[in-house]
Amino acid sequence: MAAPAPPLGRDPATIFPGGPADQQADQQAGLLRLDPWRLSWYQAAGTAAGRRSAVWQPAPRHVAEEVAVS
């Protein structure tokens, strides 16, 4: 598998040469979950006019929703 043209990223075969069936890769791989707490964005015309950024924040959650029920 060839490396994609920038800016798409890196060729995963350089990290996991054995592919998805490689047992050693299963032990070395990991997942990362990112939960945004605040997003802000600007528009060039708005910034030039002195306007503030648009901001999004998730709705507040209750403590009861944070507790995992087993």
Q: Give the structural domain span for 47.
A: 38-70
Do 13 and 22 form a contact (C-beta atoms < 8 A)?
no
Question: pTM higher than 0.95 for the full model?
Answer: no
Report yes or no on 19 lying in a domain.
Answer: no
Q: What is the pLDDT of residue 18?
A: 76
Report yes or no on 58 lying in a domain.
Answer: yes
Scan for tokens 């060039």, then name that residue: 44
How many domains is the chain partitioned into structurally? 1
Read off the amino acid at residue 40: S
Report yes or no on 47 lying in a domain.
Answer: yes
Report yes or no on 33 lying in a domain.
Answer: no
* CA-only gyration radius of the chain, Å: 21
pLDDT in tens, the chain (70 residues): 566 565 466 667 777 777 767 777 667 767 788 888 899 989 999 889 999 989 999 888 766 666 555 5
End-to-end CA distance of the chain: 43
